[in-house]
Amino acid sequence: MADSSFTTLLIDAFSPFTSLTLTLPSNTPFSDVYDHLCGRYPSLPPHLTSVLTLSTHASIISDERKPLSSLHDPDGNSKLVTLRLTPCLLGGKGGFGSQLRAAGGRMSSQKTSNNDSCRDLSGRRLSTLKEAKKLAEYIESEPQRLKVKAEAQRAKLEALEKKLGIEHGDARKSGEVSTEILSGKKHRFDDTEYLEQSRELADNVKSAVSVGLLKKRKKAKTSPSPDADKEKTVGNGKEKVADGKKSELTPTVPAAVVDVPPVSAIPLDAVGA
């Protein structure tokens, strides 16, 4: 049992130190507690007196000149006082909470309100209802769109008729052509896209025909002719056939004429002429 004039201190320290215990006289001022701790526990750094703070679990002791007896429980007889030994941390510039609140407000304002995946009371998704509404509006506007399309087509046809000189209305019947067209009046054709397409088609046809002719010529050169096959199969008979053709062209000579030896010339003196 500790004496009534003494106070037992149970100090909860920081890592790597464990809980520390110390018994001091009750009239010891609170400012001398850390010096007694350094004497009791030499591992505590004595030069950190200004950095370390002793406080109760309720609050920080404002007046360090008070004795330890002022920390006793007034309703009880216990002389045990629990303290906390904590290092003082350097504070920042402040205002971090306001910055967090401002950032949270910006994030909440940028949050999208996409509720298409939600369902109504009947169980249908809101995205399905939106699509059905768009489809109904599209169907309702179908006559108007067809009307606009027909008007655009009519205006285009009227412009074309005006270029060609076709008059329509009360003065002329539908389909009647003016005399200028019947007389062969020339009109300028300004459809450059049609001219380019027609020229391109003509060039493509010409190039395709030329490519086909070149392929045909190459194939004729590479493929053997029937006369050449005949010459290859017959072999030496080629010369015989050629000789036969030559004999048909030259006249035939009788065998008797061919076998007669040549007559030598006889001088006229020997004959007695």
Instruction: Kindly indicate the confidence band of residue 229, based on its pLDDT and cuts at 50, 70 and 90.
Output: low
CA pseudo-torsion sign 142, 146, 149, 155: negative
| Long-range CB contacts for residues 229-236, cutoff 8 Å, separation at least 24 | none
Pair 11, 65 in one domain: yes
Q: Is residue 167 part of a domain?
A: yes
Neighbours of 64 (CB within 10 A): 12
Mean pLDDT check: name the lowest of 83-92, 158-167, 171-180.
Answer: 171-180
Which of 170, 185, 200 is the last residue before a domain boundary? 185
pLDDT at 75: 67
Q: Is residue 142 part of a domain?
A: yes
Query: 3 - beta bridge partners?
Result: none
Instruction: Kindly indicate the confidence band of residue 177, based on its pLDDT and cuts at 50, 70 and 90.
Output: low
Residue 75: half-sphere exposure toward Cβ, Cα within 13 Å: 0
Q: At what angle do helices 142-164 and 126-140 cross, to 10 degrees?
A: 40
State mean pLDDT over 189-209: 87
Q: Is residue 147 pLDDT above 90, yes or no?
A: yes
Q: Is residue 64 pLDDT above 60, yes or no?
A: yes
Q: Is residue 180 part of a domain?
A: yes
Which of 32, 65, 87 is the last residue before a domain boundary? 87
Pair 83, 151 in one domain: no
Q: Is residue 158 part of a domain?
A: yes
The C-alpha atoms of residue 173 and residue 30 are separated, in whole angstroms, by 121
Does pTM surpass 0.85? no
- Highest mean pLDDT among 27-41, 167-181, 229-243 belongs to 27-41
Higher pLDDT, 38 or 141: 141
Q: What is the Cα 38 distance to its own chain's centre?
A: 68
Q: Which residues contact 187 (CB under 8 A, 6 or more apart)?
A: 163, 164, 165
Pair 83, 135 in one domain: no
The amino acid occupying position 49 is T
Pair 83, 13 in one domain: yes
Q: Is residue 73 pLDDT above 90, yes or no?
A: no
Pair 143, 78 in one domain: no
Pair 10, 77 in one domain: yes
The domain tally of the chain equals: 2
Higher pLDDT, 39 or 211: 211
Q: Is residue 79 part of a domain?
A: yes
Domain ranges, residue 177: 131-185
Pair 65, 10 in one domain: yes
pLDDT at 137: 94
Pair 80, 140 in one domain: no
Q: Is residue 126 part of a domain?
A: no
Q: Is residue 259 part of a domain?
A: no
The CATH number of the domain where 30 resides is what?
Answer: 3.10.20.90
Q: Is residue 69 part of a domain?
A: yes
